[in-house]
Amino acid sequence: MVFDVMFLRSCSLAVRRICSRAPVQTLLRSASTSQTTGRDEEEEKLDLDVWKAVMKTQALPENRSDPSPSPLDFHRELVEMWHQAGKLVPKSITDEQLQDLAALTTKSAKKKFLKFLAIKEAHKITKKEKRENKPRPERNTDGEERELRNTFLMKFWSGSMDRLLNWRVAQAMRFGQPLVYDMSYEQHMTRRELENAVSQLMETEGFNRRSSDPFHLHFCGLKPGGAFHREILKRYGAETWERMLITDTASQPADLFPREDLVYLTADSHTVLRKFDHRKVYVVGAIVDRSIQSGVSLANAKRLQLATARLPLDEHLNWDCGAKNLTLDQMIRILSTVKDTGSWKAALEFVPKRKHCGFHSMRTGKTQSVRNESTAPKNKTDGHKRVRERKTWWEEEG
């Protein structure tokens, strides 16, 4: 007992004297090890409540400085304590984010938002670590020794590439096939979905610019000053957006093009796009739909009285799981490839692999493909297995 009191006193002193924890640890270590070596095994008594005494010495000073804490402070404390409790919340949170958090009404919404922030934060940290760990290229050493080589071409800078690509897109703006993105779904999307939609649109534009025969992109129904427009300006920057080689307009696709030329692409459509038509104007709805609102774009097409079509996914792929709606950038990859090559097989390579288990084999033909659809596995997990099973069965019987 004497030892315990001594030990406690020493450690409380240590805590008081030095606030950081590392020195305390070494102190405690040395004390305990010296004591155990000095004593017999039997005398090493178990004191189960020693932690209580130690923790009591670490009590926070009683200064409730804030006399009138606001709801924001409660939320800050909540996040801080949840972090200490090992929940998936960010380590640091800005005031703006806190306001967003306080505006959410339900507990589950708050938890989800914090989880989102925590994951974002973790990505940021790992990225930073990677950047720091990367060895820096040494530049200054070989500057003098390097002799000028006799080259056929000057270095091909990315700026030259940009000029080339821009030339092509400018060509497309005069002579290319139009591809319309219908931007009239602002009110159907949450903030997160809208941000994702803009990311996908940027990806779309980038792919189009790089392709050998670009589309002439139209952003139709883009309300100036609307949420979509604001987010786009934020991401591109106003100046870059002005120089972008795409057509953006507030009018509807039916105002720009003859109605009979327009085909609205939507996964809910009953007709299948069997062949890509170079004279048609395809319309893609710029919507990211995380919640369940089925048939929104089909309803829109019905209202505008446009023809609709869906991609021939079931006709070519053994669909496994996941929704048939694809992201906007996947859509342009598919459309651009099928435009250039005319082959659905090449185009549908851009459908995410996790959603299907391979193409229908070529020899089975058309009727077979319908049948395969009907016997396609309902159980998502053993989709691959069943396909294999069926093949062996064919071989046995045939």
Spell out where the chain has E strands.
Answer: 178-182, 216-220, 247-248, 262-265, 281-285, 307-309, 317-319, 356-359
**Of the residues 32, 92, 251, 343, which one makes contact with another protein according to CB under 8 A:** 32
**Of the residues 40, 51, 65, 137, which one makes contact with another protein according to CB under 8 A:** 51
Q: Which stretch binds another protein (CB under 8 A): 27-35, 151-159, 213-221, 246-254?
A: 27-35
- Burial category of 151 from C-beta neighbours within 10 Å (exposed 0-12, middle 13-18, buried 19 and up): exposed
Least Å distance, CB 109 to another protein, is 11
Least Å distance, CB 302 to another protein, is 5
How many residues in the chain?
Answer: 398
CB 336 within 8 A of CB 210: no
What x/- string results for residues 96 through 115 when contact with another protein is judged by CB under 8 A? ----------xx--x-----
Binders of another protein in range 259-298 (CB under 8 A): 270, 295-296, 298
What is the tally of helices (H) and strands (E) in the chain?
17, 8
Q: Is 43 in the site for another protein (CB under 8 A)?
A: no
Least Å distance, CB 174 to another protein, is 36
Q: Name the residue nearer to another protein (CB basis): 70 or 240.
A: 70
Q: Is 82 in the site for another protein (CB under 8 A)?
A: yes
User: How far apart are the C-alpha atoms of 318 and 193, rounded to whole Å?
Assistant: 29
Binders of another protein in range 327-386 (CB under 8 A): 367-371, 373-375, 378-379, 381-382, 385
Least Å distance, CB 364 to another protein, is 10
| Whole-Å CA distances, 241 to 10, 197, 231, 259, 309 | 67, 16, 11, 29, 31
DSSP 42-105: TT----TTHHHHHHHHTPPP-----SS--HHHHHHHHHHHHHHTT-S--SS--HHHHHHHHH--
Q: How many residues of this chain bind another protein (CB under 8 A)?
A: 63
Taking Cα atoms as reference points, which of 31, 38, 41 lies closest to residue 4? Answer: 31
Residues that bind another protein (CB under 8 A): 11, 15, 21, 24-25, 28-29, 32, 36, 44, 46-52, 54-56, 58-60, 71, 74-75, 77-78, 80-82, 84-86, 106-107, 110, 270, 295-296, 298-300, 302-303, 315, 367-371, 373-375, 378-379, 381-382, 385, 390, 393, 397-398
